[in-house]
Amino acid sequence: MQKFKAGFEFVERIIFNIGSVVLGVMMIWIFLDVLFRTIFNQPIPGTVELTGEYLMVLIVYLGLSYTLRQDGHVKVVFLYDKFSEKWKMRSDFITSLLATISFLFISVLNFNEFLVYLQYDIKSVGILGYPLAPALLLISLGSLILSIRLFINMTVIVTERKAPIQSSISESETM
């Protein structure tokens, strides 16, 4: 289990780092698009479509799991903070379980959508006309990784008898 956890966290971090790189790419891409449009009257074809159809998907879904690990998902803690350690564990376990179910559904359903998009060869509305199916696969993957993260958090509660997330307002909220 420890080995699996370490391996998973390696993958989780890499996926998160890819998301960060995509954010940088998006910043420079939009900048260049405006630059080319202003100077050469020739925007980069497909910028508007590609940023929404792919870059945003990568940025949001590749960041999901690591954000949870850093306790970056906003929650209401005024009551939770007054819980005893035991009740914190219980409520963490329950909420993680419910979230795991939700994200497994999202993962499976979007994988199914991926297959449908492949079957119908659904393409971007823009001029480049690239296929959209991989975007659905990315959503499926991001949600799956998050589900595994939630599952690991649950096993930590059971095996190590402690809540996996300690701080109530994480540093990540400082943006």
Partner 1 sequence: STVIDEDEVRVRFATYVPVTSPVYKYVAEPWMERVVELTNGKVEFNTFPGEQLGKAHDMLKLTRDGVIDIGLFPANYFPEYMPITSALTGFPSLNTSSYQGTMAYNELLKSDDELIQRDFVNNRMVPLMGHVSPTYDVWAIDKEIRVPGDLRGIKIRTAGGITNEYFSHFSAVPVTISHTETYEALEKGIIDAANYSSVGVEASGTKDLLGHATFPHIGTAIHSLVVNERIWNRLPEDVQQAMKQAVEDILEESGVNYDEETIRFNELFEKEGGDIIELTGEEQQQWDEAATDFIETWIDNNDDKGVPYQEVLDHYRDLLDKVQ
Partner 2 sequence: MAATFIIILLLVLLFIGMPIGFALIFVGSLGIVIVGGIDAFLGILSSTAYRSVNSFTLTTIPLFILMANFIAKSNIAKDLYNCILKWIGHIPGGVGVSTVFASAGFGTLSGSSIAATSIMSKICIPEMVRANYKPTFSAGLVASSTGTLAVLIPPSVPLILYAVQTETSIGKLLIAGIVPGIVLALLLTAFIVLSSLNKNTVIEKATWTERFQSLKFIWPMIVLVAIVLVIIYFGIATSTEAAAFGALGALVIGWLLKRLNKSAVVEAFKDALQQTAMIFTIVIGGYIFAYFFTLSGVGQSMITAISESGLSKWTILFLIILFYLILGLFMDLIGSMILTLPLVFPIILSLGFDPVWFGVLVVLLLEIGLVTPPVGINLFITSKYSKIPVEKVFYGSIPFIFLLLFLVLLIVVFPDLALYLPNNM
> What residues make contact with partner 1 under the rule CB under 8 A?
37, 41-43, 45, 48-49, 120-123, 125-127
Nearer to partner 1, 30 or 97 (CB): 30
Cβ 132 to partner 1 shortest distance, Å:
10
What distance in Å separates the CA atoms of residue 158 and residue 161, rounded to the nearest whole number?
6
Calculate the alpha carbon distances from 26 to 5, 15, 22, 31 in Å. Answer: 31, 17, 6, 8
Closest listed residue to residue 60, CA positions, set 148, 170, 138, 151: 138
In the complex with partner 2, the residue whose CB is nearer, 49 or 155, is 49
Decide: is 93 part of the binding site for partner 2 (CB under 8 A). no
Identified binder of partner 2 from the candidate list 11, 14, 27, 128, rule CB under 8 A: 27
Q: Which residues contact 143 (CB under 8 A, 6 or more apart)?
A: 61, 64, 103, 104, 106, 107, 110
Q: Which is nearer to partner 2, 4 or 11 (CB)?
A: 11
Residue 100 CA to residue 150 CA, distance in Å, equals 6
Q: In the set 33, 145, 149, 152, which binds partner 2 (CB under 8 A)?
A: 33
Q: What does the alpha-carbon distance between residue 116 and residue 43 come to, in Å, rounded to a whole number?
A: 32
DSSP summary character for residue 53: I
Q: What's the min distance (Å) between Cβ of 4 and partner 2?
A: 23
The site partner of 6 among partner 2, partner 1, none (C-beta below 5 to 8 Å per kind) is: none
- Is residue 145 a contact point for partner 2 (CB under 8 A)? no
